Amino acid sequence: MDSVGASTAATPLCDVPRRVTSSLADFAAVTVDEVAKLISSAPSKTRQLDPAPTCLVKDMIGLLSPFIALLINKSLSTGCFSGEFKEAIVRPLLKRDGLDLNDLKNYRPVSKLPFLSKLLERVVQARLQAYLDGSSLLPGWQSVYRRLHSTETAVTKVFNDLLVAVDRVQMSALCLLDLSPAFDTVDHDLQLQQLKRQFGLCGTVLQWIHLYLYGDVLLFVVDVMCSVPQGSVLGPLFFVLYMADFADRAVKYGVSLHAYADDTELYHSIGRIRLPIRLYYKPCVYLVPFSR
């Protein structure tokens, strides 16, 4: 990724078109009850950087919730994301079973973020999700982060389109895309432009996201110019928004697409074909599961 970043460092950012009528400038304040529910529903795992065990926080939920709500509301109202919340222990995770354990390329870095940091992210994620759903801004070709959608609906959508093409006596070609490493391809400057011009995020909200994206602290202090933290709550959502205009490229060439997060399927059906009828129903396209 360093070589890719170096080769494109001098490339100017593309002009992100404006295509939004709604906007979100400020976050709604969180209530004590909302914080208490988030704490009680959170996993009881304790991270290495947590000042107190998560189980203790849950036991003292009635006492601590008002103070945590005050801390979160201060972050939301000022657009400030503390540097301490960016500190994370990064652990390598094997991408899938059967890969060579000695090859570092077969691992993905997963950030073990502090409990309070992930709690704050969940609050922000809930507000962003409500805004995106209410304004119908989430990409229609994505099955992730959409109510009543899943990997099953994603596969069903693509498979149904291919069957419809068969009924029309057409031949289909399918291309499976799996960006690797997907989250490391997110350019922060381009992401912020896109969030502002295409999704209407501005004011304190955009300032908070700017501080969230820039200057991540992992095993040591680094200036991260691209990627979103793997293991974070907001990272996957920001990646989906980053890829939102990918459909414009596909539509330009008359190609259909559907995706679940970073797993994308491009497919195109060709006009009527003249082959013996017995060959029409011999599948030449294989679907692979979106989730591993």
Q: Give, for 258, the enclosing helix (H) or strand (E).
A: strand 256-260
Query: Of the candidates 88, 79, 75, 27, which has an alpha carbon nearest to the alpha carbon of residue 232?
Result: 88
- Counting residues of the chain whose pLDDT is more than 70, the rounded percentage is 79
- Give me the pLDDT at residue 153, please: 87
- Give me the pLDDT at residue 225, please: 46
Q: Which residues on neighbouring strands pair with residue 91, listed in sequence order?
A: 110
Residue 230, helix vs strand vs coil: coil
Distances (CA, A) of 91 to 113, 179, 227, 262, 279: 11, 21, 16, 21, 50
Helical spans, DSSP H, in 79-150: 115-134
Would you place residue 185 in the very low, low, confident or very high pLDDT band (cuts 50, 70, 90)?
low
Would you place residue 119 in the very low, low, confident or very high pLDDT band (cuts 50, 70, 90)?
very high
Q: Which of 94-98, 159-163, 208-212 has the lowest mean pLDDT?
A: 94-98
Supply 18's token pair. 């404006």
182 DSSP assignment: G
Supply 90's token pair. 């990064």
Radius of gyration of the chain (CA): 22
Residue-wise pLDDT tens digits, 134-182: 998 888 888 877 778 888 888 899 999 999 988 888 888 888 887 665 5
The residue ranking higher by pLDDT, 34 or 224, is: 34
The residue ranking higher by pLDDT, 139 or 183, is: 139
- Mean pLDDT over 29-41 rounds to 95
- Give me the pLDDT at residue 9, please: 57
- Give me the pLDDT at residue 180, please: 61
- Counting residues of the chain whose pLDDT is more than 90, the rounded percentage is 28
Q: Are 260 and 151 in contact (CB under 8 A)?
A: yes
- Mean pLDDT over 183-207 rounds to 86
pLDDT at 253 over 70: yes
pLDDT at 121 over 80: yes
The residue ranking higher by pLDDT, 231 or 86, is: 86
Q: What is the mean pLDDT of the chain?
A: 79
pTM over 0.75? The answer is yes
- Give me the pLDDT at residue 139, please: 83
Residue-wise pLDDT tens digits, 259-284: 887 788 888 888 765 555 444 434 33
- Give me the pLDDT at residue 29, please: 96
Would you place residue 221 in the very low, low, confident or very high pLDDT band (cuts 50, 70, 90)?
very low
